[in-house]
Chains A and B, each alone.
Chain A
Amino acid sequence: QVQLVQSGAEVKKPGASVKVSCKVSGYTFTSYGISWVRQAPGQGLEWMGWISTYNDNIKYAQKFQGRVTMTTDTSTGTAYMELRSLRSDDTAVYYCARDRQRTFDSWGQGILVTVSS
């Protein structure tokens, strides 16, 4: 079955960077893009960006432009999201999701990234 398995929780200091991973299985990695979505504690969902796993086309949400980098490794079927210059309001659960025809039909389990001094 389709699975997206994300790396473990992270604790970072303000100003640091975090890189999280999302390893897929159960389907051909390059058949669907990956989107990243975050959710601050008690808040709603916020789309961060999308990457094509086929040709590495990328679209970042304007809010994260210049601070986020999304990449893929097709040899391992893994997507990565790096967020730099972390602030306390970046504390959130970060999800990867399979982007199938512009809807997110499978999600990773989420990674809690805590930014605290």
Chain B
Amino acid sequence: EIVMTQSPATLSVSPGERATLSCRASQSVSSNLAWYQQKPGQSPRLLIYGASTRATGIPARFSGSGSGTEFTLTISSLQSEDFAVYYCQQYNNWPPEYTFGQGTKLEIK
């Protein structure tokens, strides 16, 4: 099973600043990597898929990069609504199989 490790566990950033979240896979997942945002009491929301493609309606301040085993989610200028927990997820095309990272909590500094 592919293990996804996110760092840091908690990230404290001031509004308007840049946030950089990391995700590492235990073996190569190519570009089969997605990022989700989850706010308290809400369902997760897809942000990025294919490592770098923004999902429909996602603001341009969210960007993803990386391939193989190292991935990054960058939020260029934090807005108040961006403080949440972020999960990376690797996916296998066939058979379908998925693994989530343990999450990074992005909190207001």
**Also in contact, A44 and B96, with CB within 8 A (given A103-B46, A103-B49, A105-B46):** no
B 16-69 contacts with A by CB, 8 A: 32, 34, 36, 38, 43-46, 49, 55-56
**Also in contact, A102 and B100, with CB within 8 A (given A62-B1, A108-B43):** no
**Also in contact, A46 and B46, with CB within 8 A (given A59-B95, A102-B93, A105-B55):** no
> Interface majority SS on A: helix, strand, loop or mixed?
strand
Centre residue among A35, A37, A62 by max chain B CB count within 10 A: A37
Q: 15 extra interchain contacts, Cβ-Cβ under 8 A, other than A45-B87, A45-B100?
A: A33-B96, A45-B38, A47-B98, A59-B97, A101-B49, A102-B32, A102-B96, A102-B98, A103-B34, A103-B49, A103-B55, A103-B89, A103-B91, A105-B46, A109-B43
A-B contact pairs, 5 of them (CB 8 A): A45-B87, A103-B91, A105-B55, A107-B44, A110-B43
**By the criterion of a CB under 8 Å from any partner CB, how many residues of chain A are at the interface?**
22
The interface residues of chain B lying within 8 Å CB-to-CB of A46 are 100
Q: How large is the interface on B (under 10, 10 to 19, 20 to 34, 35 or more residues)?
A: 20 to 34
The interface residues of chain A lying within 8 Å CB-to-CB of B43 are 95, 107-110
The interface residues of chain A lying within 8 Å CB-to-CB of B91 are 102-103
Q: Please tell me if A104 contacts chain B, counting CB pairs below 8 Å.
A: yes
Centre residue among A35, A59, A102 by max chain B CB count within 10 A: A102
Q: Please tell me if A29 contacts chain B, counting CB pairs below 8 Å.
A: no
Q: Please tell me if B15 contacts chain A, counting CB pairs below 8 Å.
A: no
A-contact bits for B1-17, CB 8 A (1 contact / 0 none): 10000000000000000
